[in-house]
Amino acid sequence: MNHTERGSLRRAVARAYWSYLWFIFALLLYFVFNNVPPYTVAIYWLGYPMIPAVILGVVYWAVPGHPAKPGMVGSVQGREMHTLIIRVDEEAGKLGIAYRIKVLVAFNPVWFIIFGVLIYTIYVNYFVGLTLLDRITISVAQLALVIAMASFAFGYIKDFMVDSLREIMENEIFPKVVNERYNISVYPVVRAVIRERTKLGKGQKLEDIYNLEPKLFHQDALLKKLLE
């Protein structure tokens, strides 16, 4: 098994893992709102979700993607660099629903915590016989818990999430830009240009920077940044 296959397998396992957790979450939600104590049917909400989760993981791993086909352009300098920058800007501006879904999936741990606490709050307040004062007390305590957990989560994974979002954007743009145009030999340069685009904010373009300072896009400068 080569490096690419191992990476695909790891992503498939991660997809199956999170699918399993979300299926468990959905079943627990069903039991809670139907007044069925989850501990009495643990075999169902722990065992059954494994089936669709494993199926999704296998499908994700077995179904081939759509890798970019190498082209003939083997040098990215001068006019070709300008053309590449324009194409990167265009593709970055056309990121659609697939990109947004991948971004949402990247926040899986955060969504899981938020929805878990939210459902527990709803259950305690509306399905457990508590007085109004008890409900208010529990709600305040849970609000403090959510704030504390959110602060910890965002502080802990901030850098990781920023890198993940840039990687998602880069992987979404790359095959569309290189497909049937650029040779494998210049893929690192293309990735370096795309990576620079991922650092820009909304409404900003690489072309504007290129027009002001073309030296920043010399091949040597780009490759050095790729190694940073």
Shared domain check, 142 and 89: yes
Question: How many structural domains are present in the chain?
Answer: 2
Shared domain check, 212 and 123: yes
Shared domain check, 194 and 122: yes
Judged by phi (left if over 0) then psi (alpha if -120 to 50, else beta), residue 35 lies in: left
Shared domain check, 49 and 82: no
Shared domain check, 206 and 183: yes
Shared domain check, 138 and 60: no
pLDDT in tens, the chain (228 residues): 444 444 456 666 666 766 777 777 777 677 766 766 655 665 665 666 677 767 766 666 665 556 677 788 888 888 999 999 999 999 998 888 878 877 777 777 667 677 777 766 666 666 566 666 776 777 777 777 777 766 766 665 666 677 778 888 888 899 889 888 899 889 999 999 999 998 888 788 999 999 999 888 988 888 888 887
Q: Which domain holds residue 123?
A: 69-226
Shared domain check, 220 and 152: yes
Shared domain check, 143 and 79: yes
Given 65, 95, 115, the domain boundary residue is 65
Shared domain check, 88 and 189: yes
Rounded to an integer, what distance in angstroms lies between the CA atom of residue 228 and that of residue 212? Answer: 23
pTM value > 0.95: no
**φ, ψ dihedrals at 73, nearest 5°:** -70, 120
